[in-house]
A = this chain, B = another copy of it.
């Protein structure tokens, strides 16, 4: 098929397809003449995966390029291929809302904390995170765990709670962990509905990212519900 059809069938604009080609995220089509190339079903499939990583997953291009290599490496088991994609997703959740228009933060408000000496709050948070995962019985990736963006985010989040004067109790972390455990099962059930291989990796990336706002908004609505039960006028 020509570029135009590839665009129509994938829903990705041609300018974006050309950008992915330039960045090496999509293999060049078969040359027909000096200005045209032909694309096949493999290009379409790959294009959908690239779109899932970059547009849905907001993954940096350089990261997406690395992820694609792992995803298409037949020597890896399915877990490693899904893991390569999901672990590489940006996990800088606390930045949510930072770019709301009209907000002009003061010049030094967001200055990063210099990370020369090891921060004792972060070190303590790391200990609690490790204890939490052990108590949850999560055995996976204890060696590679430190490299996972999600694990780093967890540690930073526990440290942020401490610094803000709202230290979290282990029992609360455990309650969160048990909920996450249930969600992990629901999520992998969803992913298993897709055929094994790249399509499943795509689904893993998409559902990981796209269910995050579902989860966070439901949590806020549930808080409102519970708050009304306990403190509301009718409560």
Contacts and interface: CB of A to CB of B under 8 A. Distances in A.
A89 B97 contact: yes
Contact of A214 (B111, B148, B157): B157
A85 to B, nearest CB: 11
- Copies of this protein in the complex: 2
Contact of A151 (B80, B99, B221, B228): B221
A98 B60 CA distance: 8
Interface in A189-235: 190-192, 203-204, 206-233, 235
Majority SS at the chain A contact face: helix
A221 B154 contact: yes
Nearest to A193: B169
A95 B58 contact: yes
B216 A61 contact: no
A11 B150 CA distance: 27
A172 interface: yes
B96 A214 contact: no
Interface string A49-92: 00110111111111000000000000001111011001101111
A177 B100 contact: no
A123 interface: no
A167 B9 CA distance: 17
Given A103-B61, A231-B82, A213 B164 contact: no
A117 interface: no
Contact of A78 (B173, B179, B231): B231
A181 interface: yes
Contacts of A97: 57-60, 89-92, 95
A217 B16 contact: no
A95 B93 contact: no
Given A18-B106, A92-B96, A99-B99, 19 more contacts: A16-B108, A79-B227, A83-B224, A86-B220, A90-B96, A95-B96, A150-B216, A150-B224, A157-B211, A161-B214, A176-B211, A176-B215, A179-B215, A188-B227, A204-B223, A204-B227, A215-B215, A215-B216, A215-B219
12 contacts: A13-B106, A15-B106, A95-B96, A98-B99, A133-B221, A140-B228, A156-B213, A177-B218, A181-B222, A187-B226, A188-B230, A215-B219
